[in-house]
Structures are given as structure tokens and as C-alpha cells.
Amino acid sequence: MHIISFANQKGGVGKTTTAVTLSHGLARLGKKVLLVDLDPQGHVAFSLGFDKQPGLYRLICENAKIKDVILNARENFDILPSDKFTEKVKRHITLSDFRESILLDLFEKTKYDFILLDLAPSLDVLHLNGLVASDWVMIPTRLDALAVDGVNEILSTMGEIRKQGYPFLGYSILPTFFDRTTRETLVQLKELVQHFGPKVMPPIPQDTRVRESVAYGKTLWEYSPNSTAIQGYNDGNKSTGGYDQVLHRLLEIFHG
């Protein structure tokens, strides 16, 4: 089982879209996937056409069994939904013993190939719990100076967690909302690649179909599988960027 968290302490960088798209992408390839929403906004369920539900709250605060709180979103693809009651989960964890590893202990009892965690854009006890549980951290970022600064904040937090004895296998940086006609976008992408090298994933092009798919409660694979966000930019005989390339890069990381 591999646990991947999607984290950036800056909001609006495409975390939930990325988590939902890659979760369904893995499921479509036959992997058994659980996507856990750790954000009180509850956008994971909404993005997939479900009502927001207190699944995370029931699991942690009411000791419900995980099979009773997950929703089957698509074939091979389950979600653990969240809503405003997730704020109470944070208080519950704060008062618990061994609070740093509560999520990790819960997930060790499940039988998924991949568990993906959609973390809220805030540094709180639930955010830290998600990072502690993770093998790999995916850091989506817009290509502007403020969002890129959020990358450094997450890496700093990961460094502190390592000091507490919770190692990571590694991390990736995922540029989102990529617009190759905008100079700032190109400059920021170049600087990311110069600084982080192969840790930078293929960029996700800006695409209006992302918002449209959410409105219909569909994933991008269902709504527009040939969209630029999925397939990237077509440059002659090859494409650059897109979730399809990122998905296969992930599989290479975990399966060689």
C-alpha cells in the first residue's frame, strides 16, 4: 500500500482536482484506491457528485468502522468524505494520545493499493497527521511567486516531521494552471526545474474543462478525456504535460 498526500499551505493551487483526477486515473488502471478528504470544505465528495458527509468525523470521533463511512465513487475507487464536522476532528486529535499517527494507524488496517490524502491548505494537527501517514508528498503549485513560496513551506514542514522519526520516500512538485503564453508562468517553471530538477512533474495546462467537470460531478477522465488538462499540449509528435503523463510518472515511482 502506498499513501500519497497532496499538500500546499497556499490555497487555490488545484489540490483537490489533482487528487480526484489521479485517484480515478489509478482506479481505471485496476488499482484499488481510497481518496481521503482532510479538508472541512468537503470538496472531494462534491467533485464526484456526492453530498458532503461527516465520514472522517464518524471514523475518528465516533469509532465507526471504515467500511461504514466510505463511499464507492467509481469502480475500484472509494472516498472517505468530509464536511464541516472535520473541524471537530482536529480538536479530538489534539486531545488524543499518540496523536501524530492516528491516521497512519487507521490506514494500516485497510487493503488498498493506493491511499491518497487531500490536505487542507493550513498547518494544523490534521494536516500534520496526513503528512506523517504519507510515503510520498505531491505538492501542487500555481506558477506564481506566492504559490511557489508555499512549496518551500511544505518542504520545511516535512523536514521537521523527518526529525521526529517519520521518513518520507520522497516528494514531487506539480506545476498547475500552466499557460505557456504567459511569461511569468514560463519563468517560474524554469526556476522550479533549475532548483528541483526531476522532482518537478510535467505541468498541468490551464483548462476550463476542469471547472466544467466539477459542476457535473464528473472526473476529467469521464467528462473530457482528450482535454488539454489530461493530455497536455500537443507539440508535433509528442505531448507535454497533463495528468496522463503525471499518472504514469507516479506509477514509475512506485513500480519502477
Residues 193-211: pLDDT tens digits?
A: 999 999 999 999 999 999 9
CA 28 to chain centre: 17
Query: Rounded to the nearest 5°, which phi and psi values hold at 205?
Result: -65, 145
What's residue 100's pLDDT?
76
- Domains of the chain from N-terminus onward: 2-255 (3.40.50.300)
CB atoms within 10 A of CB 227: 20
High-pLDDT (> 70) share of the chain, %: 98
What's residue 98's pLDDT?
60
For the chain, 256 residues long, give each residue's pLDDT as a single digit of tens: 899 999 998 888 999 999 999 999 999 999 999 999 999 999 999 999 999 999 999 999 999 999 999 999 999 999 999 999 988 998 888 877 666 778 888 888 889 999 999 998 888 888 889 999 999 999 999 998 777 788 888 999 999 999 988 889 999 999 999 998 888 888 889 999 999 999 999 999 999 999 999 999 999 999 999 999 999 998 777 778 999 999 999 999 988 5
Whole-number Å distance between alpha carbons of 17 and 14: 5
* pTM of the entire predicted model: 0.94
What's residue 256's pLDDT?
54
User: Any idea of the CA torsion for 24, 29, 30, 32, to the nearest 10 degrees?
Assistant: -40
Residue burial 95-123, b: 16+ Cβ < 10 Å; e: rest: eeeebbebbbebbeeeebbbbbbbbbbee
